[in-house]
Structure formats: C-alpha cells, structure tokens
Amino acid sequence: MEKAKKTPLLHISRRMDVPRWEKIVIRVATFVGAFVLCALICSLFKWGTFFNFFQDLFGSLVSKSASKPLRSLINTLEEMALLLGISLALLPAFKMKFWNLGAEGQVLMGGFMAAMLSKFLPNSMPTALATVIMLVAAVAGGAVWSLLPAVFKAYFNTNETLFTLMMNYVAMGVITCFIRVWNPEHGTLDSLSTGMLPQIGGYSYVINIIVVTVLVFAMYGYLKYTKHGFELSVVGASRNTAIYAGINTWSVIIRTAVLSGALCGLVGWLIVAGADQSVSSGSAGGRGFTGVLIAWLGNFNPFYMALIAFFVAFVTRGSSSFATEFLGGNSSFPKITIALFFFAVLVGEFFLNYKVHINRKEKKQALAGKEAK
C-alpha cells in the first residue's frame, strides 16, 4: 500500500426538509450576525465604537424633531421602497430566467422621460394631468429600454445579461448628453416645474411607499394566480416544455421583459417626481444593481424581498449616520456595511440549504489504522 488516504474532514450534504422554526432561527441569527459583524468593523475603524454603531443603527429610525416624529422612519421606508420597487420590477424577468441587469438604465430612462416632460409641459396644465402624462412617459421609457434586449433575445437568442447591462451605459450617456445641452452649468436638469407628488400628512415620500406596497401584493398575485405568471414560470423552467405546452415563448419573453422595464420606469418616476425632483445620470444611485441582489437574496419571494430591502435601507441609513458622527462623513463606509450584510445573508442561505458534518469518528479510525501499520 502506498499511502492510506484520509477521508475528508468536512462533509457537506444537502438538507431537504428544514422545519419552519429552524428556518426562522437561522434567518434571525443571520441578521443579528450581520449587525454584529458590521459593529466589529466599526470598532476596527475607531476603537470603542462597537455599541455606538447599534445606537446609530436604531437611532436612524427615531426622529429628533418633535414636530415630525415619523420623519426618520419614513426616510428609511422611502429608501426601502425604491430598492424594493426595483427588485419587484426585476422579479417577473428573473422568474423567467431573463437576467435583466439593466434596471439602472431603465429606471434612469423612466425618470428622464418624466423630468423632460415636466420641462416641456405647459404650466397651465392641471398638475394631476401632468402627473399622469409623466407617469405614462416614464413607464414607456423604461419599457422601451428593455424591449430592445427582449426582442433580440426572443428572435436571435442573444445574451440578455450583457445586452441589458450595456443599455445602462447608453442610458447614462443619453442623460448626460441632454443635461449638457439644456443645463450646461449643472450636473442635473432643472427642478421639476410641474408634476411633483404631493405630501401626505405633512410628510413627503408617502406616496412612494404606498405605491410600492401595492406593487408587492400585485406582483405576488400576478406570479401566482394569473395565466401570465404561470406561462413565464414555465418558459423560465424550460423552453422545450413551454413549446410542448403550447406556449408562445417569444411573446411571453417580450411581454415579461417589457413589464419588467415598465415597472423600472415607474420607479424612475417615483424617484424623480416623488423624491429628487430632478434627474442626473446618477439618479438611480446603483439601486438597479442592489435590486438584483435583493431579488436573489429574497428567494424571489416578494414578502421576503421586502424584509431584505428594509434591512438594506436600515443598515445604509444607520451606517451613514455613524459615518457622519465618527468617520467624518466617509461615504464609502455604508458600502462596506452593506457588503457585509449581503455576505452574511448568503452565508445564512448556505446553512439553510446545506449541512456540514465533521468526520471526527472516521478520522480517528484512519489514525488508528495508520498506527497499526
């Protein structure tokens, strides 16, 4: 015998039926672990700030001004709503295994269309009408931006991942170009002249939150209870099966991708009309990519995605205020904590799906066998 090979120490096997309580325990542990990890990083940057991080994290939900006690909470929810809206827009496309990475561009085009119309619509027009026109234009803008890759995918089977990704840069270029023409001194277009969304109860952003909340339920129902939702999940599972079942695959692909782009355009409208009141090439702020992660980590379940989106917004705002307080407003710091948060969620997913065994007994046996020789 040349050499007795040891059995591997770690043995990973797939878990099939995980009980519900264990799932909840693992997920809660994941989130707590993520916060602790972030806090540890904080102490690394500045010694002794371990608990300050938690203070800032939860403090970001509580408003300091007495007149508007919900201000901070609504700000967090608003950030969550935008992220969630984009990931919900991506959801039908992802369910169809159409990897739409162009949310950033679709959102931008939606927002740009809204802002551009606001610039050209006459001021005499009633605000409600202007709002509706802007909304329709935004939805159309987003839809067109995803229609192109979808048509190529359906007819020529091109790779939608690369196509949609490149469309982001085209969108940014288009917007930068128009800003140069219309407003050369600034990096953004002028503030909206009409079509802003009104405040509700003295708070802005409330409409954004309401729209996205409705969208969560609508998307859940669309995917689960409609023929469209059924068709797109069959097309996603296997195009052969779809053809066998008599589904017109190319029309499903185009329809779903356009829906995805249109909803991205809707979010773009929310950003411009409901929050920023203007548009620049950075209006989407990377949310189009964060939305992809949220959809994946939320297991393509709208409600779980909402939870993840909330935590992302929560961690972002918490660590921003920590950065302002301790790190001189370092804007890279929230990015680090978000990355850690995503990483922790991924690790949690691993333990939800796999079990790690340690082969102690066999190792001992192998050692005993060696000694015998």
Partner 1 sequence: MSEAILELKNVTKRFGSVTAVDHVDFTLNKGEIMAILGENGSGKTSLMNIVDGIYFPDEGKVYVNGKEAVIASPLDAFKYHIGMVHQHFKLVDTFSAIDNILLGEKSSFSFKESFKKYKDEYSNSKSGFRRVLAALLFGLKTVSLPFAFLGNALHLNPLRKNRGASIEKIAATYGFEINLNKKIKDMSVSERQTVEIIKALYKGADVLILDEPTAVLTPQEIRRLFKVLKEMKAGGKSIVIITHKLNEVEEISDRVAVMAKGKHIATVITKECDQMKLTEMMVGKKIELNIKRSEVKEPKLRLKVEDLDYVDHKGRHRLKHINFDLYGGEILGVAGIAGSGQKELLESIAGIRKRAVGSCLFYDDGNIVELMHKNPNIIRDMGVHLSFVPEDRLGMGLVGSLDLVDNVMLRSYSKGKGGLLQRKKPERLTEQIIKDFDVKTTSSHQQIGKLSGGNVQKILVGREIASSPRVLMTAYPVRGLDINTSYLIYNILDEQKTKGVGVMLVGEDLDVLLALCDRIIVMNSGHVAGIVDARTTTKEEIGLLMTKSEETPTMTEAEAK
Q: Side-chain half-sphere of 90: how many Cα atoms within 13 Å?
A: 35
Q: Does 15 bind partner 1 (CB under 8 A)?
A: yes
**Least Cβ distance, residue 98 to partner 1 (angstroms):** 16
* Binding region for partner 1 (CB under 8 A) out of 38-46, 230-238, 297-305, 343-351: 230-238
Q: Does 10 bind partner 1 (CB under 8 A)?
A: no
**Least Cβ distance, residue 342 to partner 1 (angstroms):** 25
Q: Does 230 bind partner 1 (CB under 8 A)?
A: yes
Which tokens is 65 given? 């001004």
**Least Cβ distance, residue 13 to partner 1 (angstroms):** 5
Binding residue for partner 1, selected from 139, 247, 254, 306, defined by CB under 8 A: 247
Contacts of 147 by beta carbon, 8 Å cutoff, 6+ apart: 254, 257, 258, 261
Q: Does 227 bind partner 1 (CB under 8 A)?
A: yes
Q: Does 368 bind partner 1 (CB under 8 A)?
A: no
Q: What angle do CA 112, 118, 123 make, to 5 degrees?
A: 175
Dmax (CA) for the chain in angstroms is 96
**Shortest CA distance to 175 belongs to which of 95, 235, 228, 107?**
107
Binding residue for partner 1, selected from 10, 246, 332, 371, defined by CB under 8 A: 246
Q: Does 233 bind partner 1 (CB under 8 A)?
A: yes
**Least Cβ distance, residue 58 to partner 1 (angstroms):** 39
Binding residue for partner 1, selected from 14, 20, 64, 360, defined by CB under 8 A: 14
Which tokens is 330 given? 């370092």
Residue at token pair 């987003």? 142
**Shortest CA distance to 279 belongs to which of 213, 206, 182?**
182
313 within 8 A of 72, measured Cβ to Cβ: no
Residue 184, φ and ψ in degrees, nearest 5: -60, -25
Residues that bind partner 1 (CB under 8 A): 1-2, 4-5, 7-8, 13-16, 225-231, 233-234, 237-238, 240-241, 243-248
